[in-house]
């Protein structure tokens, strides 16, 4: 799969920190023009000159009212890490507000022709989505992450940089796979689970569990 031939045009982002910086760098090269940023933290500094930051849902609604135009820009939810549920909730909120979800796929990512990707996915430089894989809404595959053949990612999953899923892996909603972690074939990572950076997962991970190490072992319970 290659980048869209037509320019992206105007878009906005919710999230004004590192994920926004990474996304904007390549979306600009695809003809994108970032017109506004939103963030739930009122203290976050503006990451880009001449792009205003509006705070919270109230700020977004003020921006929407002041915009006063019939056309609807595209959007990305630039919130990564263990915040998959928040990313999904904000994505749904923005859709319901009339905006259009943007699939942000880096031109140097590889997405198999028979893979399926949901709304608002982010596939960054060097990431790979293999044959017959299914990637749900609001998922992030960060730099050089990969989901091999027939893997299935639920809603709001985040694969951190260099995370690797072997074939036929299932990752349930809102789970987070840390930087450089490896998940062996045919395993299931439960809903809201967290796999620590550099871990090697050799057994299923129950929902809401934090695991780490090689082989990965239970560390604590996560907040579902």
203 catalytic? Reply is no
For residues 146 and 165, the answer to whether their CB atoms sit within 8 Å is yes
Q: At a CB cut-off of 8 Å and minimum separation 6, what does 14 contact? A: 37, 38, 39, 60, 75, 76, 77, 78, 79, 90, 94
Query: Could you check whether the bond before residue 56 is cis, i.e. omega within 30 degrees of 0?
Result: no
For residues 196 and 209, the answer to whether their CB atoms sit within 8 Å is no
H or E element, residue 195: strand 194-195
For residues 166 and 189, the answer to whether their CB atoms sit within 8 Å is no
For residues 45 and 20, the answer to whether their CB atoms sit within 8 Å is no
Q: Which residues of 88-117 are buried (b: 16+ CB within 10 A; e: fewer)?
A: bebbbebbeeebebbbbbbeebbbbeebeb
Biggest CA-to-CA distance, the chain: 55
Strand partners, 189: 171, 205
In this structure, the number of other CB atoms found within 10 A of the CB of residue 143 comes to 19
Q: Which of 83, 149, 158, 203 is catalytic?
A: 149
Question: Catalytic positions, please?
Answer: 149
């Amino acid at each position: 799969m290659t980048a869209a031939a037509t320019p992206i045009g105007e878009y906005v982002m919710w999230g004004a920190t590192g994920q926004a910086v990474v996304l904007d760098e390549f979306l600009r090269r695809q003809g994108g023009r970032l017109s506004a940023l939103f963030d739930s933290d009122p203290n976050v500094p503006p990451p880009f000159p001449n792009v205003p930051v509006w705070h919270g849902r109230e700020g977004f609604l003020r921006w929407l009212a002041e915009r006063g135009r019939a056309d609807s820009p595209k959007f990305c939810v630039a919130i990564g890490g263990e915040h998959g549920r928040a990313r999904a909730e904000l994505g749904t909120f923005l859709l319901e507000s009339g905006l259009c979800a943007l699939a942000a796929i880096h031109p140097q990512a590889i997405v198999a022709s028979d893979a399926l990707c949901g709304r608002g996915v982010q596939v960054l430089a060097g990431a790979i989505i293999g044959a017959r894989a299914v990637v749900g809404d609001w998922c992030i595959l960060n730099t050089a992450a990969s989901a091999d053949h027939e893997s299935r990612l639920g809603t709001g999953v985040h694969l951190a940089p260099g995370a690797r899923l072997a074939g036929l892996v299932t990752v349930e909603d809102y789970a987070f796979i840390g930087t450089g972690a490896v998940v062996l074939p045919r395993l299931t990572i439960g809903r809201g689970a967290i796999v620590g950076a550099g871990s090697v997962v050799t057994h299923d991970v129950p929902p809401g569990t934090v695991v780490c190490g090689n082989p990965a072992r239970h560390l604590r319970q996560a907040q579902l």
